[in-house]
Amino acid sequence: MFSATHSVLVIFLILGKRDSVNQTEGPVTLSEGALLTLNCTYQTTYSDSYHFWYVHHLNKAPQLLLKDSMTNQRPEHEGFQATLVNSDSSFHLQKQAVQLEDSAVYFCNMQRRNAKNKITHQFY
């Protein structure tokens, strides 16, 4: 069975090289109350794209954490923030004071619209 990290890698290899997302790799170890910053940068040939952060807690399905245009967060995701900066193609995730319950796998995603206004999901 593949972990979430391996599944994302396999899907990326199948999708090709037109678009890409790069994020902080490996485990990040922090003390409770510390500032969390996970970097996410992207490259795309499409101007109409959306950006997401997902969280995957052990033994649970991945959940949407943040979307670049999201105005309301779920209560359990309170404190997380990410700002889309088109000038440097980034969507970095931050939380001012991490807690033990924030331990999880986090991954950045980009989604684009195709020419027919249908949404195309791509996981990297």
**Are 40 and 20 a contacting pair, CB within 8 Å?**
no
The pLDDT, as a whole number, for residue 112 is 72
Give the CATH number of the domain where residue 16 resides. Answer: 2.60.40.10
Instruction: Compute the distance between CA of residue 73 and CA of residue 108 in angstroms, rounded to an integer.
Output: 17
Candidates 101, 85, 7; CA nearest to 93 is 85
Quick: pLDDT tens for 74-117.
Answer: 656 679 998 888 888 899 999 999 999 999 999 998 887 664 44
Domain count of the fold of the chain? 1
Boundaries of domain holding 115: 4-23+32-122
